[in-house]
Amino acid sequence: MERRPLGIARLIRTGPAEAEVSVAVVDDAHRNGVARRLLAELERRACAAGVRELHANVLAENTAALALFRASFAQGPCVVEGDVLRLTCLPGRRARWPARPGRPGRPARRRRGRRRATPATG
């Protein structure tokens, strides 16, 4: 069985208590918790190094990455720069989103009302 990397994560210090974080996962490994585990390790290292704010640049259309960061960290301010969101994440603090039943650590999904079919007129 061939072993190959599934993802990469980086933590770059940008100030005394700030760092930039990024995560990339190979396409075949998406939706398997790889990015979540990489972010958890980055958070552990950031807290140990005294980092109090993590910054991440995420494309506004990348809803999976936005959900991952929101579920993983408490959020600070978010700045919109064109089609990129600059997220501020607070390591060592849990996200303030309610967990899904049976899936700890993940945000609850909003329930959408059922759409009723309307009778065709004509």
What residue ranges define each of the domains in the chain, with the CATH number in brackets?
A: 7-97 (3.40.630.30)
Per-residue pLDDT, 71: 87
Q: Are 74 and 84 in contact (CB under 8 A)?
A: no
Q: Are 39 and 49 in contact (CB under 8 A)?
A: no
Q: For residues 92-98, give the mean pLDDT.
A: 64
Q: How many CB atoms lie within 10 A of CB 58?
A: 18
| pLDDT of 115 above 80 | no
Q: For residues 93-99, give the mean pLDDT.
A: 58
Candidates 23, 36, 103; CA nearest to 70 is 36
Give the containing element (helix H, strand E) for 72: helix 63-72
pLDDT higher for 117 or 72? 72
- Give tens-digit pLDDT for 8-50: 999 999 999 999 999 999 998 888 899 999 999 999 999 999 9
Per-residue pLDDT, 98: 45
Among 34-38, 68-72, 77-81, 107-111, name the one with the lowest average pLDDT.
107-111
Q: For residues 87-115, give the mean pLDDT.
A: 59
